[in-house]
Amino acid sequence: MALKFTLLVLPLLAHIVNGQGPATFDIGKYGGKPNANIDQALSSAWKEACAATTPSTVVVPKGTFLLNQLTLAGPCKAPIELQVQGTIRAPSDYTLLPDKNAEWITINYVDHLTISGGGVFDGQGKEAWAKNDCGKNPKCVKLPLNLSFNFITNSIVRDVTSQDSKNFHVNVIGCKNVTFQQFTVSAPADSINTDGIHVAKSEGISVLDTVIKTGDDCISIGDGMKELHIERVSCGPGHGISVGSLGKGATEEDVAGIYVKNCTFTDTQNGIRVKTWPSAPAKLQITDLHYEDIIMNNVENPIIIDQEYCPWNQCKLDSPSLIKISKMTVNNIKGTAANPVAVSLVCSKAAPCENVEVGDVDLAYSGNQGPISTKCSNVKPTFVGKQNPPICANAAQSS
């Protein structure tokens, strides 16, 4: 990770040493004023900075600024930084966005991008959450997410906050070598479909030293994701760190190389989770999953594989998932479960899980719904160290 960060900043340091410090493009110079709309000012500042042949910094200074909707696009001629020191605020009424099919802030095709500054991207999502019926209505209105990163490479997002997005907070698609560090996601537990960071069809993504409080998955992992490193992340409230849901699309791509280490889950619905749809066409592989040194604080489902994922009865369970899960390790998981079934490994009858290794697990349940237990099907894990409670303890569970 240190090497990756060094590679990102070397071009910038070279210009500073040569007396060519980053040129600054403050939105104030382009008419951007506090408590006023900055669509045009930010767009103009970005356009000039992106055209610069030396590293440049676009600055949104301290204060509160209004932004309807914006796409910032590259490629740029040199490394570029978006330094948000203040708060950028979206309209609370999503119907006011000029393009109903676009996200709030979209950044496309940029190499060596830095987003920093300690500021806040405020999506003002409360009004939209009340109208979100996508779980039950396939024709629901599309709500914009806060930050959409598409085809971004060799970049870092650090020391900024995404707050109260109307939909996902961050979407990462087609990106490579991107790090989120000391990033914050903030939304209440009852905010609907507000995944913290969603990553898919990308490679070499890292999420480090990050706090995510939201109403859905803290981090959701879609198809085509390869080499995702998640370390020192605090999740809660939220629905945990989830691979999936996967399986609905026939053209979905394999997922490989997911590493989750030194993370803490507090009052979440799930801890570490893999979820796939039954009665679905995809036959992809989910492989090389590693979870280590994790603390669970009052988590409903600390460890869960759910290959019968079917919310709101949107599918039939009579046709099992065709997705294969393999090469999964779980080690040093400690804490408390809010559900007596602390570990649930429900794999597919059509494609049983293979090469699942469970190391030290120590989970306690203090509720009154019965003794702590585990549930397993279509999986035969190997064990290293001690497991409390005993996992897949009998042959019937491991059938």
Q: Tell how strand 226-235 and strand 147-150 pair up.
A: unpaired
pLDDT at res. 141: 84
Q: Which amino acid is at 80?
A: I
Q: What is the pLDDT of residue 394?
A: 56
Active site residue 15: no
Q: How far apart are CA 345 and CA 397, in angstroms?
A: 10
SS3 95: helix
Q: How far is CA 251 from each of CA 78, 171, 254, rounded to the nearest angstrom? A: 36, 20, 10
| Tokens describing residue 3 | 């090497």
C-alpha 144: how far from its chain's center?
16
pLDDT one-digit tens code per residue, 124-143? 999 999 888 877 777 788 89
Secondary structure class of 10 (helix, strand, coil): helix
Q: Which helix (H) or strand (E) holds 40?
A: helix 39-51
The per-residue pLDDT for 131 is: 85
- pLDDT at res. 132: 83
What is the residue extent of each domain of the chain? 1-92+99-128+144-216, 255-399
Peptide linkage before 98 cis (omega within 30 of 0): no
Contact call for residues 219 and 243 (beta carbons, < 8 A): no
- Closest by Cα among 227, 243, 223, 230 to 183: 230
Q: At 163, which amino acid appears? A: Q
Q: Please tell me which residue in 112, 169, 229, 239 is annotated as part of the active site.
A: 239
* Pairing relationship of beta strands 324-337 and 285-299 according to DSSP bridges: parallel
Order of strands across the sheet that contains 373-377:
70-73, 105-108, 147-150, 170-173, 197-200, 219-221, 241-246, 270-276, 301-306, 341-346, 373-377
Digit-coded pLDDT (tens) for 173-219? 999 999 999 999 999 999 999 999 999 999 999 999 999 999 999 99
pLDDT of residue 20: 58
CATH classification of 1-92+99-128+144-216, choosing from 1.10.150.130, 2.160.20.10, 3.10.450.50, 1.20.120.340?
2.160.20.10
* pLDDT beneath 70, residues of the chain: 1-20, 394-399
- What would the DSSP string read from start to end of 148-216? EEES-EEEEEES-EEES-SS-SEEEES-EEEEEES-EEE--TT-TT--SEEEES-EEEEEEEEEEE-SS
Q: Is the peptide bond before 75 cis (omega within 30 degrees of 0)?
A: yes
Single-letter residue type at 19 = G
pLDDT score, position 259: 98
Chain centroid, CA 102 distance in Å: 19
